[in-house]
């Protein structure tokens, strides 16, 4: 007796597919292998800033504002005063998946390398 509804037994059982192919298709569709906006911004930042990028760190991206930590007060002054607009233009040109409205800079001095000549010693050890 046919009720008009398809039953599980009505379908062919040859629709099996290897799990690997299913996972590959899911990964491709989900986009998880694509670069994140943060990675795209960092890559464009490094290209625009050149060697000075080694003295900076992208701390975050919130409400279209990139927060950047700088380890040198001289570089901080240069970035804020002279290069901010140039960097914004480069980010807007090179990162099309995320609009960067502004860049906020913050100074954070990095300490000397561990074990280096500037390492503080405990007075008892000296």
Domain containing residue 75: CATH number: 3.30.300.180
The tens digit of pLDDT for each residue in 78-120 reads 999 999 999 999 999 988 888 899 999 999 987 544 433 334 4
- Asked whether residue 16 is assigned to any structural domain, the reply reads no
- Asked whether residue 82 is assigned to any structural domain, the reply reads yes
For residue 111, what are the CA distances in angstroms to 7, 31, 115, 117? 69, 38, 11, 12
Torsion of CA 57, 59, 62, 65, to 10 degrees: -30
Q: How far is 107 from 80, CA to CA, in rounded Å?
A: 11
Range of the domain at 69: 37-107
- Give the number of domains in the chain: 1
- Asked whether residue 10 is assigned to any structural domain, the reply reads no
Q: How far is 50 from 45, CA to CA, in rounded Å?
A: 8
Helix (H, G, I), strand (E, B) or coil at 62: strand
Sign (positive/negative) of CA torsion 117, 118, 124, 126? Answer: positive
- Asked whether residue 68 is assigned to any structural domain, the reply reads yes
The tens digit of pLDDT for each residue in 24-81 reads 787 777 665 566 788 888 999 999 999 999 999 999 888 999 999 999 999 999 999 9
Torsion of CA 114, 119, 120, 125, to 10 degrees: 90
Q: pTM above 0.75?
A: no
- Asked whether residue 89 is assigned to any structural domain, the reply reads yes
- Asked whether residue 23 is assigned to any structural domain, the reply reads no
- Asked whether residue 88 is assigned to any structural domain, the reply reads yes
- Asked whether residue 22 is assigned to any structural domain, the reply reads no
Helix axes 37-49, 84-94, angle to 10 degrees: 130
Q: How far is 55 from 6, CA to CA, in rounded Å?
A: 65
Q: How far is 93 from 45, CA to CA, in rounded Å?
A: 11
């Amino acid at each position: 007796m046919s009720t008009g509804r398809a039953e599980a037994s009505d379908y062919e059982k040859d629709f099996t597919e290897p799990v690997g192919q299913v996972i590959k298709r899911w990964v491709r569709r989900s986009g998880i292998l694509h670069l994140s906006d943060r990675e795209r911004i960092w890559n464009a930042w490094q290209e625009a800033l050149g060697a000075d990028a080694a003295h900076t760190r992208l701390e975050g991206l919130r409400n279209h504002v990139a927060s950047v930590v700088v380890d040198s007060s001289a570089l901080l002054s240069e970035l804020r005063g002279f290069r901010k607009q140039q960097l914004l233009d480069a980010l807007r040109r090179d990162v099309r998946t995320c609009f960067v409205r502004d860049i906020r800079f913050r100074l954070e001095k990095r300490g000397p390398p561990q074990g280096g000549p500037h390492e503080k010693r405990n007075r008892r050890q000296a």
